[in-house]
Amino acid sequence: MTLEEHARAARLQAYVEYSGFAVGCALETEDGAIITGCNIENASYGATICAERVALVKAVSEGHRRFRRLVICTEAAKHSTPCGLCRQALSEFCGPELAIMLCSATPGKLPTQSYRFGDLYPHPFDRASLAQ
Ligand code: THU
């Protein structure tokens, strides 16, 4: 299965009772493992977690800390990039060369778009920011 296919399969597990907006993603580690995530909503709204952070916390909790590619898939009419909270969370473990690929849940609906993480999030708050 390709990384895109893993992201599409993960999207089918999305729990989207409130927005109906299902997101799936697949994170590829430096050693080739694939960790998936989907968004999981909550009646409180604020306790909702995005697909990207689900994949990231699953990966880190299983001992993975270095990543090569992240594929995100939705059924939206226009591709959307990861939210600010997910960009900041990813920046803790992913360098500017991480490839972020946006694909459609329906193959061929939209062309896949690729970004370099450093272009999407050029100035993360990082450990150097804590220096006083
Ligand atoms: N969502 C994600 O899973 N990833 C993003 O990058 C943006 C938004 C989810 C959160 C919520 O469940 C739904 O999409 C609508 O915001």
With contact defined as beta carbons under 8 Å apart, do 67 and 98 qualify?
yes
What is the distance between the alpha carbons of residues 23 and 86, in angstroms, rounded to a whole number? 13
> How far, in Å, from the CA of 41 to the mean position of ligand 1?
9
The DSSP symbol for 123 reads: S
Q: Which amino acid is at 75?
A: E
From the CA of 131, how far away is ligand 1's center (Å)?
32
Q: Is 16 in the pocket of ligand 1 (CB under 6 A)?
A: yes
How remote is the CA of residue 129 from the centroid of ligand 1, in Å?
Answer: 27
Please work out whether the CB of residue 23 comes within 6 Å of at least one atom of ligand 1. yes
Q: Which tens digits make up the pLDDT trace of 56-99?
A: 999 999 999 999 999 999 999 999 899 999 999 999 999 999 99
Q: pLDDT-based confidence at 2, cuts 50/70/90?
A: very high
Catalytic annotation on 28?
no
41, 52, 92, 97: the catalytic one is 52
Distance 51 CA to ligand 1 centre (A): 7
**H or E element, residue 73:** strand 67-74
84 CB neighbour count, 10 Å cutoff: 9
Q: Is the CB of 85 under 6 A from ligand 1?
A: no
Q: Which atom of ligand 1 is nearest to the CA of 86?
A: 6
What secondary structure letter does DSSP report for 72?
A: E
Residue indicated by tokens 């050693």 = 31
For 5-56, how does the pLDDT look when each residue is reduced to its tens digit (9 = 90+)? 999 999 999 999 999 999 999 999 999 999 999 999 999 999 999 999 999 9
* Reported pTM: 0.97
